[in-house]
Each structure stands twice: as structure tokens, then as C-alpha cells.
A = this chain, B = another copy of it.
Amino acid sequence: MTTQPKYLSDTQMSLRPGILDLGLGHPDPTLLPIEAVKRATAKILDDLGLEALSYGWAAGPGPLADWLRARIRNNEGREVRSGELLITAGNSHALDQLLTLHTQPGDVALVETPTYHLAVRILKDHPLQLVPVPTDDEGPQLDALKQTVTDLKRQGKPPRLLYTVPTFHNPTGCSWSMARRLGMIEVATESGFLIIEDDVYRELAYDAPASPSLWSLAPTGVVARLGSFSKSLSPGLRLGWLTAHASLIEKHTSGGLLDSGGGINQFAAMVVSALCQAGDFDVQVSRFQQAYRERRDALLAALAEHLPTCAVQKPGGGFFVWVVLPDGVRSDALLTRAEACGVSFVPGVKPCWAGGGENAIRLAFSLYAPDELREAARRLGEALIPC
């Protein structure tokens, strides 16, 4: 087994010595497209350097938008019409801005649970009332969603939005079924709230193409879909995009932030534009898919071997495996023992932000090589035995 040093200074990833940290939903740095970024950066600085260094157009560089429009049309079968696309600084920032520009203090935000726990932190940084929507392996439970919306309307608080990660979900790895997708869209359309679709894992599909996005299925204006280059290219570039109704995009492009600073991340956007136009995006996505598929399979096989009493579902894409522990085992107690055995994870109580999740854990298979994942599963099994 070769454990390469993965600690990088000046990055968010601070690995503790001796611990395989499957809590980190990070790409393996050694898989990042450094050569493609080098080529793209050299090209853009040679050809369009003055553009790349000037205040950018509020909606982002036109050539990158054109490339995205063509890709989305081909992959999703829906046309991104004029004014319906915005280049963003990644999904975290796009969510933050959307909340600033699209909500009023006291607005109700429906949020699936479990969900991406750090998106919940971004939501909580805004003066909103968060209301949970329980979610199972197929997606938000439609009866519960409808009842919640009815109750909220009765209280004079119709929901303003719903946050969800429907494809290769964080933390469960599931993709919401077509019935749930259509059901959510129906409720949102009837009730007049916006679905914020966090679609960050779409490109990381390992078995079959990703399910259709909510955005591609819904009437115009019902869904704002957050797409990202963080998982498909590199998180340090801090770049993504948003497809939504032109009036919502216009709230961003005519808002104070972009009016003042111009395109949100002009330099990175111009670099990614050149990278995509050079054909390097597909190459990199294939590289990630191949590596992560192998890692997922290695982890799943090792979990079956070392944690036979746990319930594990095979994710079709993304970064995560959700493990339901045997009855009576609590993830917080397991975490202490696991770290003593040299392995770590995200306890289920974090993504289950409205309660519950004590008996589940989230494992990421993105950061480590297959041998390391097998060793991590072995250590986890060792930690589980005394339970």
C-alpha cells in the first residue's frame, strides 16, 4: 500500500497523522487537471490576457456561456435561452447570493434532511426560517412535503424556496426517483416556491448517465439549478454556473455586487473557458469517473467484508456512501473508537440537521486510493467490533 502525502499547505484539507479521513468530501489532489489548467492559462493570457484581467461582464464570459449552453442542450435536452445562465463563483457562493437577492427576512426555506450540512450553514447565515422536509432513498417524501406546505400556508408563511441535492445526493449517494422529482416540481409549481437544485455531482456518474435535472424537467422559473466546476474540474478555481428564469438571473446581474465588481470570478472563468474549448473538460471528467468508480467499488467491497452488519447502498455517482449502523450503535461513540483505530467520517447527525442520524455515517471515497479505502474499511470494522 502506498500512502502518498496528501497534506497541502494553504488548503482546507488538514489531515491528521495516522488517520484516513473519509469525512473529507474532497477530490484527490493528485487527480486534478494541472496540465490542462496550465495550457488553458497560458493560452488565455497569450490571447485574451487583457480581458481576463479586466472587470468582466456581469453574467460571465460569453464563450464559456456558449460552451455550457451547448453542453446542457446535448446532455439534458433543454435549451438554455438568452438570459437564463449566470457564471458563478461555485455553488456555495451562488447559494449565498441567491439567498441575499431572492429572500426577505423571515422567509421560510424548506430544506431536505439529511442534506449537505454546510449548505445548511450558508442558509442559517441568512435571516430565514428553516423548515425540514424528511427524505428517504427516493427523495423528499411528497406527503410530508405537501402537509408541510399546507401547514405553512395556514400559518400565513408560504415557503419561499426548497433546497435539495437530487442527484448523487450528499450525504446518501442516492438519486431522487423520477416520481419524486416530478412530485416536488408539481408542489413547487402549485405553491409558487423556488426549488434550489444543488447539482454539483452531475458529471460524476459511474454506471449510467445522471438522472434528468429538476431544472430540465420543470416549467421555466420553478427551479434554479446550481452547477459547478468544483467536482468536475477543480475546487480551487471557485467556478460554477446557474440556470434559472431570466428574471432571477437578472436579479444577480443587476444587483450591487456584480454591478460594482463585474463578472464574479473573471480570471478563473476565462481560464476555464479556454480549458473547455480545448476539449480538456471531457478528458478530465473521464479521468475522475474512472478513478472514483474504482474507489467506490473498492470501498463497497471492503465494507461488505469488514462491516457485514451495516446497511450500505451503492451510489451511482458522486463522492459518498451512506452507512446505516447496526441497531444500538451510535455514530458519535463509533467516531471516538474509529479515530483511535486511524479512520474518520462524518457522523450522520450533521447532515440530519433537524434531528436523527445517530445511527448513520457518511464516508467519502473521493480522496483516497483503493488500497487506502480498503484499509479504512478494515479499521472501521475493527472500531465497530466492540459495539
Q: Report the Cα distance A122→B261, complex, angstroms.
A: 10
Q: Which residue of B lies closest to A24 (CB)?
A: B55
A35-67 interface code vs B (CB 8 A; 1 in, 0 out): 001100110010011111111111001110000
Contact call A257/B56, Cβ cutoff below 8 A: no
Chain B contacts for A33, CB-based, 8 A: 53
The answer to the question of A118 belonging to the interface, with a C-beta cut-off of 8 Å to chain B, is yes
Q: Does A194 contact B (CB under 8 A)?
A: no
Give the top 9 A-B pairs by smallest Cβ distance, nearest first: A121-B256, A122-B256, A92-B261, A105-B105, A118-B260, A53-B234, A12-B262, A12-B55, A236-B266
- Interface residues of A, Cβ cutoff 8 Å to B: 8-13, 26-27, 29-30, 32-34, 37-38, 41-42, 45, 48-58, 61-63, 89-93, 96-97, 100-101, 104-106, 116, 118-127, 230, 234-238, 255-257, 259-268, 270-271
28 pairs, CB–CB < 8 Å, chain A vs chain B: A9-B51, A10-B51, A10-B56, A10-B62, A10-B63, A11-B51, A11-B54, A11-B57, A12-B54, A12-B56, A32-B49, A32-B50, A34-B49, A34-B53, A41-B41, A41-B42, A53-B236, A89-B89, A89-B265, A92-B256, A92-B261, A93-B257, A96-B100, A101-B125, A121-B255, A121-B259, A122-B260, A238-B261
